[in-house]
Amino acid sequence: MNESLRHWLRAMVPFPLRRAIARLRSLRGIADLTGRWGAAGLHASISRHASARLWRQVRLGTGVIIDPGTHFHTNDNDDGTRIVIEDGSFVGRHCFFSAGESIHIGRQCNIGAACQLLAAGHAYDDPTLPYVAAPVLSYGRMRLGPNTWIGVGSTLLGGIEVGYGTVVAAGSVVRQSLPPLCLAGGQPARVLKVFDWPTRCWTRLPDDTLARDAALAHHLATIPQEADYVLQLKS
C-alpha cells in the first residue's frame, strides 16, 4: 500500500475507531482483557479512573492502592513486566509513570499526589522530526526501596534508585540516586538529613563539603542492610 493511500485511509477512519482497532490488535493475555484486575494482587484497590497503556506490563502486589487519575505508561509492546509495585504501597491521585527498562516500587511505599516517575523520554537530536514521533529513549531502571515516601508534586528522572526508608520533600526534582534512610529535597534534590540508626533520630547534615561527606559515609556504615530493615518494618 503506497503512502498516499495509507494517509487517505487514516483520514477517513475516525480516531476513536482507529484507537479501538489498535487495542484489539495488541491483545495478548488475560490482563489485556481484564484490565486493572488482571494486574492486581489480592485485596488491591485500583480506581476505575486509573489507566495503563498495557495492563499486561503492570504488576501490583497485595493491598496496593491506586488513586484516580494515575496512569502507567510503557513504551513498547513486549510481553514483559515493566512496572512493579509491591505489597502495601500507595499511589496518590494523578501520578504518571513512564517506564523505560523498568520502574520498581518496593513494599509499603507512599507516593503522593501528582508525582511524575519518568524513566523514559523521546529523542531530540533531529528537531525537524516531530518529537512526539521521535524514537523513545530508555533511561534504564528506576527503583524505590521499601518504605520510601515521595512527597506531593515531586518528579523523579532517569535510572535512579531511592534507598529504603528515604523521604523526598514535596515538589522536589530527583535526578540522582539517594541513599537509604535520608530526607532529601530541592530542585535538584539533595540530602538534607539522615536517620541516625543507633540513636533513632533525624540529624541534619553539615554544610561543609568535607564534613558532609564524612557524615554520609558514617551514616551508610551504621545502617542495616535492606533485608534486615524490611524485617523490622511494622505492619
In 3D space, the residue among 163, 166, 179, 178 whose CA is nearest the CA of residue 220 turns out to be: 179
CA distances from residue 12 to 16, 24, 53, 116, 164 in whole angstroms, order as listed? 12, 19, 25, 36, 52
- Per-residue pLDDT at 1: 56
Give yes or no for a contact between 193 and 212, defined as CB atoms under 8 angstroms apart.
no
DSSP conformation class of 56: G
Give strand pairing partners of 105. Answer: 85, 144
What pLDDT score was predicted for residue 181?
98
What is 61-76 written as a DSSP string?
Answer: -TT-EE-TT-EEEESS
pLDDT at 118: 97
Report the alpha-carbon distance of residue 87 to residue 92 in Å, rounded. Answer: 15
The set of cell numbers assigned to 199 is 540513636
Q: What pLDDT sits at residue 122?
A: 86
Could you read off the pLDDT tens digit of each residue along the chain, which spans 235 residues? 566 776 666 677 776 776 666 666 555 555 555 677 788 888 899 999 999 999 999 999 999 999 999 999 998 888 789 999 999 999 999 999 999 899 999 999 999 999 999 999 888 888 988 888 888 888 999 999 999 999 999 999 999 999 999 999 999 999 999 999 999 999 999 999 999 999 999 999 999 999 999 999 999 999 999 999 999 887 6
Whole-angstrom CA distances from 68 to 34, 72, 91, 94, 113 are: 18, 12, 9, 6, 10
pLDDT the model gives residue 213:
94
Buried b (16+ CB within 10 A) or exposed e, 211-229: eeeebeeebeeebeeeeeb
Of 119, 113, 163, 171, the C-alpha closest to 141 is 119
Distances (CA, A) of 44 to 28, 64, 165: 23, 5, 22
Q: Quick count: other Cβ atoms within 10 Å of Cβ 143?
A: 19
For the beta carbon of residue 94, count every other beta carbon within 10 angstroms. 17
Cα 59 from Cα 172, distance rounded (Å):
27
Instruction: Give the model's pLDDT for residue 228.
Output: 95
Please choose, from the candidates 154, 193, 145, the residue with its C-alpha nearest in 3D space to the C-alpha of residue 173: 154
- Give all domains of the chain, ordered by start, each with its CATH number: 34-194 (2.160.10.10)
Cα 141 to Cα 10, 56, 81, 90, distances in angstroms: 36, 18, 12, 20
